[in-house]
Amino acid sequence: MTTAMPQDIVARGPTIAPSPVRRAVTTGLIAATGLLMIWLGARGLSASPAAGGATLALGIAALVAARAVWRGMRGALVLTPQGLTDDRGRMICPLAEIERVDTGILSLRPSGGFLLHLARPAPPGWVPGLWWRRGRRMGVGGAVARAEARAMAEAIAAMVASRAAAGEPGT
């Protein structure tokens, strides 16, 4: 069995994306919750009109969130020699900014995903079910297959380690 070098892994362009089933189930559950809340708020079963209005507002917010999740989960993340990009080529996180990869149980990371520790704070960003970024942390995963996320985390860790061994900047 041969072991691929980080350059070989990146040459293939590993990609992670939510499966159509995960996308449909996730969006469907959020939308169903929103519809249920709207139905409950419209029935007027609340103790006060304010509570009924709040239930309606939360139901509408859940439907808006379901739409955001549906739109966000149609994308993908691609690992290139320059860093993580989305499937449209927009740079999400340059490789030179990644200090380490964290896949530990106790790390604050997306379900089935991994956490990247960045060298400098980056602007906040979020694509539901795919990635989020706040300050010096970026979480990848959530609605993607655990095996795909693990493979990408290992490829990024290998690239960061080879960069550190070569003494390149950003380590």
List, for residues 113-154, the tens digit of each pLDDT value.
Answer: 899 999 999 899 888 888 889 999 999 988 888 888 888 889
Confidence of residue 168 (pLDDT cuts 50, 70, 90): low
pLDDT at 109 > cutoff 60? yes
12 vs 113, which has greater pLDDT? Answer: 113
Give the pLDDT score at 29. Answer: 94
The phi and psi torsions of 144 (rounded to 5 degrees) equal -105, 160
List, for residues 39-82, the tens digit of each pLDDT value.
Answer: 988 887 767 888 888 999 999 999 999 998 898 888 888 898 88
Confidence of residue 107 (pLDDT cuts 50, 70, 90): confident
pLDDT at 32 > cutoff 50? yes
pTM: 0.74
pLDDT at 105 > cutoff 90? no
Q: What is the DSSP string of 126-156?
A: EETTTEEEEEEEEEE-SSS-HHHHHHHHHHH
> Is-contact 130 138, C-beta < 8 A?
no
